[in-house]
């Protein structure tokens, strides 16, 4: 962030100016007043090399006529009207120091770190709050600007404790970096520093409020992005503090992001407190799997241990935020892990055995049962590679009863548009009406919810919701609780229908919780009828979306993991649970032989006869498709635990022991197998929209029941085996869930 | 403490390949001679025979059969002597000897049954570790 970019900025200085930057003490330095007064002679012709905008930022001109030209350090840049001086400097490739400015938050202009000199202005101006005017001559490198920064730093450090050695922000602290780069080399402060009482913001965010520099980024984040009015500024002057007004925890599913945006160590991660220094950590760019959004994350690890998870920028998916579940579930990766293959003995206890013995036992049993009695269930965290391996293995054994949990008894895998978000997460911003059917995006996909909230805030989009009473952090209209309301809408009896049909870009989002309903086809055809009548799907706009819950779901449907008969689990004699803990385990007959392959000793293990330990998402390379159809990849950050193996390797090995050897021996080979089944899964980091709409779908003649929709996610913090094993998530659900 | 095994000392550099070669044989003989006492010290009688240990020493030496630089041979010899000294000194423990020279590099899991001989490369590596 901010000052992370500084080194690159310095490296851009041409060699001939380097000499002038060498550390010397001259009269300017010894008397800053003289430096400020000495106006450098104006450069006659700027022979500066063309600059690249900070962080590769691109400028979008909504209206080419509105472009204005300003000069930054003598270098002319074209910017659209309405840009601030700060943004103009960024376009010109000059990184202005800042504390309070954040590109995704409103402008506060209260830290004054971004002061620059503007020709003909009597005082330095706070560039983040000053609109750029045509022909403005901005100077960012003059003695006046430098002196202003130095002064601001001095004031900020006046009340900032000298905590760096015991501060968790140390090493990635904007204040530390900027005081090194722009601060004075001595202080004049001799008084007593003020101190502020720490606030309790809950189990996730640790506060050391004395370190706060009152930039109000956290307050703006909470009110603008997270949509909770929990944080605020109290008092004035030196009595100013950040707090929660009353003794209250911060209850937002995005609260962890204030840790990232706080430029100092006032808000840090509680679980990470005093665990590691950031320069000891190895970062691995990976993907989150705790929901279907596929937020981009960086897994920071030290040795074999995941120390923390932080977001990675991806404008199309999670911008630069992640949900608390994503950020703090990592301690679940260290608990309840399965590390040895195990077989349940006759006394009901598990005994650790070698891989050789475990696979031999499984292979023997799988040959003893009839092919129709073999069932395979992929778990919600499975990657595409292991799912295709499981499907191929079961197919070779003669069974076609393989599915992914969460997709319901008879999923529609034929029409891709029927199970992905056709609009795409980032295009939700163009919508002006939302109809949420049986989905509570706040708990099902917090990042999608943040996008909807952003849209509602920016364009006053209307939100209609059909489903059980739920928590929203934006204005919405509760239309009803069950399918009845949908019928009213489709028949035009409901006023919301005219809202949809009058909208420019209406969006319908159907929750994947509906997949479990008996009358799923009927409900979907009603929703599709609404979409048709309301003109939701047009050649230039596809507003029909399904919001999935699990990381594995979309890829499973793409790969065709569809059970042959939806009653197969009741008659199964051999059940292969590949990380499946939320399937109907009690429906499995008593005499069935259950193999559990997975990384956590979760629900599936209680019923298992054989355990095959597998690696978690932080330990393997795996392909995941998110709910909008974007294929992404996890990368191994830490080694596997104990004797665990990657999922697809286990199935490949088992297939050989069982005598039906699968033809892929390495990752590349299994990838090309996936390419033949679902080509879209091989184009990484690309969103593949569905080709056909539902207009080609045959009519369903199912009867719709009037049972109201159910909430799909009971506990936001605990949805899968990793989060259920996490202590932090347990604390969150105990303290933060509204009971 | 001085080594009990006399005759084990760092010798001057070998001038030629022949000299180095002769030294290797001397070393091998010295090692073979100390095997009975090693069996005694580490109580190895029920896990291994003398001839098995001899062939394990031989295979350690053969690992470097392709080395033809006398300097490198001298270095390897030096390492070997040190190891032999440590072993005869009882500077090691029983599991070291078993792990390194009795079980060897294959690890504890060995697919010895006839059925497993036809295993693919993948499966053999799979039994060994997750990383290949
Ligand atoms: S706590 Fe951090 S983010 Fe919030 S105002 Fe203080 S310094 Fe800024
Ligand atoms: S960044 Fe401009 S005033 Fe804080």
Please identify every stretch of chain A with a pLDDT value under 70, giving residue numbers as ranges: 1-50, 693-696, 738-739
Q: Output the pLDDT for position A19.
A: 42
A209 neighbors A199 (Cβ within 8 angstroms):
yes
Using a CB-CB cut-off of 8 Å, the residues of chain B touching A652 are 122, 126
Put simply, whether A599 touches B (Cβ < 8 Å) is: no
* Both tokens assigned to B130: 């997750």
Do the chains contact at B127 and A644, CB–CB below 8 Å? no
Q: Output the pLDDT for position A388.
A: 96
DSSP one-letter code for A364: H
Report which secondary-structure segment, H or E, holds A392. Answer: helix A384-396
A446 neighbors A325 (Cβ within 8 angstroms):
yes
Residue with tokens 């630069």: A320
Put simply, whether A649 touches B (Cβ < 8 Å) is: yes
Point out the residue among A644, A646, A665 whose CB comes nearest to the CB of B122. A665
Q: How far apart are CA A390 and CA A577, in angstroms?
A: 10
Q: Output the pLDDT for position A189.
A: 82
Ligand 2: nearest atom to the Cα of A127: 2
Q: Which residue of B has its CA nearest to A645?
A: B130
Q: For residue A125, how far is its CA from the centre of ligand 2 (angstroms)? A: 10
Of A90, A94, A95, A128, the residue with max ligand 2 atoms within 8 A of its CB, to mutate for a pocket test, comes to A128
Q: For residue A102, how far is its CA from the centre of ligand 2 (angstroms)? A: 9
- Chain A 322-381, CB below 8 Å of chain B: which residues? 354-356
* Both tokens assigned to A695: 């207009």
Using a CB-CB cut-off of 8 Å, the residues of chain A touching B130 are 615, 640, 644-646, 649
Residue A512: how many CB atoms within 10 A of its CB?
Answer: 25
Of A214, A225, A243, A268, the residue with max ligand 1 atoms within 8 A of its CB, to mutate for a pocket test, comes to A214
Q: For residue A112, how far is its CA from the centre of ligand 2 (angstroms)? A: 5
Ligand 1: nearest atom to the Cα of A219: 4
Cα A272–Cα A273–Cα A276 angle in degrees, nearest 5: 70
Q: Which residue of A has its CA nearest to B130?
A: A645
- Picking from A304, A261, A264, the residue whose alpha carbon sits closest to that of residue A281 is A304
Put simply, whether A652 touches B (Cβ < 8 Å) is: yes
DSSP A551-618: TTHHHHHHTT---S-TTTTTT-SEEEEES--SS-GGGS-TT-EEEEEESB--HHHHH-SEEEEB--TT
pLDDT-based confidence at B116, cuts 50/70/90?
low
Q: Output the pLDDT for position A3.
A: 43
* Minimum distance, in Å, between the CA of residue A649 and any CA atom of chain B: 7
Q: For residue A283, how far is its CA from the centre of ligand 1 (angstroms)? A: 25
* Minimum distance, in Å, between the CA of residue B115 and any CA atom of chain A: 10
A330 neighbors A619 (Cβ within 8 angstroms):
no
pLDDT at B112 over 60: no
Q: For residue A101, how far is its CA from the centre of ligand 2 (angstroms)? A: 5
A96-105 b/e (C-beta count within 10 Å ≥ 16 → b): bbbbbbbeeb
Residue A428 Ramachandran class (φ > 0 left, ψ -120 to 50 alpha, else beta): alpha
Ligand 1: nearest atom to the Cα of A214: 5
Do the chains contact at A649 and B126, CB–CB below 8 Å? yes
Residue A562: how many CB atoms within 10 A of its CB?
Answer: 20
Using a CB-CB cut-off of 8 Å, the residues of chain A touching B122 are 652-653, 656, 665
Locate all alpha helices (DSSP H) within A231-316, ordered by sequence. 257-261
* Both tokens assigned to A27: 């009269």
Q: Output the pLDDT for position A412.
A: 83
- Picking from A125, A105, A102, A123, the residue whose alpha carbon sits closest to that of residue A114 is A125
Query: CA-based Rg of chain B, rounded to a whole angstrom?
Result: 18
Bridge partners (DSSP) of residue A593 are: A574
* Minimum distance, in Å, between the CA of residue A653 and any CA atom of chain B: 6
Question: Exposed, middle or buried: residue A42 (CB in 10 Å: 0-12, 13-18, 19+)?
Answer: exposed
Q: Output the pLDDT for position A7.
A: 44
Q: Which residue of B has its CA nearest to A665?
A: B122
Q: Output the pLDDT for position B38.
A: 94
Report which secondary-structure segment, H or E, holds B36. Answer: helix B17-41
- Picking from A646, A652, A650, A612, the residue whose alpha carbon sits closest to that of residue A342 is A612
Q: How far apart are CA A528 and CA A544, in angstroms?
A: 8
- Picking from A368, A412, A399, A385, the residue whose alpha carbon sits closest to that of residue A528 is A412
Cα A138–Cα A139–Cα A143 angle in degrees, nearest 5: 155
Task: Count Cβ–Cβ pairs < 8 Å, chain A vs chain B.
Answer: 33
ipTM: 0.80
Q: Output the pLDDT for position A62.
A: 76
What pTM was estimated for this model as a whole?
0.83
Do the chains contact at A653 and B123, CB–CB below 8 Å? yes
Q: How far apart are CA A84 and CA A101, in angstroms?
A: 11
Q: Output the pLDDT for position B115.
A: 60
Q: Which residues contact A123 (CB under 8 A, 6 or more apart)?
A: none
Distances (CA, A) of A296 to A200, A226, A260, A286, A314: 29, 18, 15, 6, 7
Q: What is the pLDDT of residues A410-435, one digit of tens each?
A: 888 888 888 999 999 999 999 999 99
Pocket of ligand 1 (CB under 6 A): A 212-218, 242, 261-264, 266-267
Residue with tokens 């202590």: A727
Q: Output the pLDDT for position A66.
A: 82
Residue with tokens 């059970």: A563
SS3 state of residue A39: coil
Q: Output the pLDDT for position A691.
A: 76
Do the chains contact at B130 and A615, CB–CB below 8 Å? yes
Pocket of ligand 2 (CB under 6 A): A 98-101, 109-114, 126, 128
pLDDT at B14 over 90: no
Q: What is the 3-state secondary structure (H, E, C) of A152-204?
A: HHHHHHHCCCCCHHHCCCCCCCHHHHHHHHHCCCCCCCCCCCCCCCCCCCCCC
Q: What is the pLDDT of residues B16-49, one digit of tens each?
A: 999 999 999 999 999 999 999 999 999 999 889 9
A375 neighbors A401 (Cβ within 8 angstroms):
yes
């Amino acid at each position: 962030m901010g000052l992370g970019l500084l080194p690159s900025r310095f490296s851009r200085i041409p060699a001939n100016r380097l000499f002038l930057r060498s550390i010397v003490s001259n009269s300017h330095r010894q008397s800053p007043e003289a430096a400020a007064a000495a106006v450098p002679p104006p450069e006659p012709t700027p022979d500066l090399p063309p600059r690249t905008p900070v962080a590769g930022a691109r400028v979008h001109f909504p209206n080419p006529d509105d472009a204005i030209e300003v000069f930054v350090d003598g270098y002319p840049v074209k910017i659209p009207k309405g840009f601030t001086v700060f943004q103009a400097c960024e376009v010109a490739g000059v990184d202005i120091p800042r504390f309070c400015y954040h590109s995704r938050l409103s402008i506060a202009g209260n830290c004054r770190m971004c002061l620059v000199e503007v020709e003909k202005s009597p005082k330095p101006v706070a560039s983040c709050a000053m609109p750029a005017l045509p022909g403005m001559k901005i100077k960012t490198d003059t003695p006046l600007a430098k002196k202003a920064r130095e002064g601001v730093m001095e004031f900020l450090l006046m009340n900032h404790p000298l905590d760096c050695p015991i501060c968790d922000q140390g090493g990635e602290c904007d204040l530390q970096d900027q005081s090194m780069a722009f601060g004075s080399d001595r202080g004049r402060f001799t008084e007593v520093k003020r101190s502020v009482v720490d606030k309790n913001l809950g189990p996730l965010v640790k506060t050391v409020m004395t370190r706060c520099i009152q930039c109000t980024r956290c307050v703006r984040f909470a009110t603008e992005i997270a949509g909770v009015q929990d944080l605020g500024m109290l008092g004035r002057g030196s009595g100013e503090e950040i707090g929660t007004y009353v003794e209250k925890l911060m209850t937002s599913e995005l609260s962890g992001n204030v840790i990232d945006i706080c430029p100092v160590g006032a808000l840090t991660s509680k679980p990470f407190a005093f665990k590691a220094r950031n320069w000891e950590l190895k970062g691995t760019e990976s993907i989150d799997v705790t929901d279907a959004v596929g937020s981009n994350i960086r897994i920071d690890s030290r040795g074999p241990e995941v120390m923390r998870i932080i977001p990675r920028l991806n404008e199309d998916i999670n911008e630069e935020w992640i949900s608390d579940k994503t950020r703090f579930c990592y301690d679940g990766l260290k608990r309840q892990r399965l590390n040895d293959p195990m077989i349940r003995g006759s006394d009901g206890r598990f005994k650790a055995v070698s891989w050789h013995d475990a696979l031999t036992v499984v292979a023997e049993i799988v040959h003893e049962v009839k092919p129709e009695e073999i069932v395979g269930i992929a778990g919600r965290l499975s990657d595409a590679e292991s799912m295709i391996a499981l499907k191929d293995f079961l197919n070779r054994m003669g069974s076609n009863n393989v599915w992914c949990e969460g997709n319901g008894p008879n999923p529609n895998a034929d029409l891709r548009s029927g199970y992905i978000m056709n609009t795409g997460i980032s295009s939700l911003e163009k919508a002006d009406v939302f109809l949420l059917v049986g989905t509570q995006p706040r708990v099902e996909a917090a990042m999608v919810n943040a996008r909807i909230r952003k849209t509602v805030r920016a364009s006053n989009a209307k939100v209609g919701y059909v489903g059980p009473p739920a928590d929203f952090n934006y204005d919405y209209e509760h239309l009803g609780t069950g399918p009845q309301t949908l019928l009213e809408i489709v028949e035009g009896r409901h006023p919301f229908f005219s809202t949809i049909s009058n909208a420019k870009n209406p969006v319908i989002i159907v929750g994947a919780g509906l997949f479990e309903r008996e009358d799923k086809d009927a409900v979907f055809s009603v929703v599709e009828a609404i979409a048709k009548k309301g003109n939701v799907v047009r050649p230039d706009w596809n507003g029909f979306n399904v919001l999935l819950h699990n990381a594995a779901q979309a890829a499973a449907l793409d790969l065709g993991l569809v059970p042959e008969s939806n009653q197969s689990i009741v008659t199964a004699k051999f059940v292969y649970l590949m990380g499946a803990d939320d399937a109907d385990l009690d429906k499995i007959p008593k005499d069935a032989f259950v193999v559990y392959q997975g990384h956590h000793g979760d629900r599936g293990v209680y019923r298992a006869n054989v355990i095959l330990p597998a690696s978690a998402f932080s330990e393997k390379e795996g392909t995941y498709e998110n709910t909008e159809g974007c294929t992404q990849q996890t990368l191994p950050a830490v080694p596997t635990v104990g004797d665990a193996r990657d999922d697809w390797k286990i199935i490949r090995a088992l297939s050989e022991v069982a005598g039906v050897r699968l033809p892929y021996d390495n990752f590349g080979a299994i990838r090309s197998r996936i390419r033949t089944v679902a080509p879209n899964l091989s184009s990484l980091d690309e969103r593949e929209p569905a080709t056909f709409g539902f207009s080609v779908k045959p009519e369903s003649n199912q009867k719709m029941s009037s049972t109201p929709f159910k909430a799909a996610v009971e506990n936001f913090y605990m949805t899968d085996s990793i989060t259920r094993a996490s202590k932090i998530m347990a604390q969150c659900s105990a303290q933060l869930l509204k009971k | 403490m001085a080594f009990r095994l006399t005759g084990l000392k760092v010798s001057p550099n070998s001038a030629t390949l022949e000299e180095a070669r002769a030294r290797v044989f001397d070393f091998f003989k010295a090692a073979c001679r100390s095997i009975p006492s090693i069996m005694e010290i580490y109580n190895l009688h029920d896990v291994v025979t003398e001839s098995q240990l001899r062939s394990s020493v031989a295979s350690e030496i053969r690992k470097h059969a392709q080395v033809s630089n006398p300097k490198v041979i001298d270095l390897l010899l030096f390492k070997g002597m040190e190891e032999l000294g440590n072993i005869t000194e009882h500077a090691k423990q029983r599991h070291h000897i078993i792990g390194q020279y009795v079980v060897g590099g294959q690890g504890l899991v060995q697919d010895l049954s006839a059925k497993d001989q036809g295993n693919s490369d993948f499966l053999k590596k799979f039994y060994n570790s997750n990383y290949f």
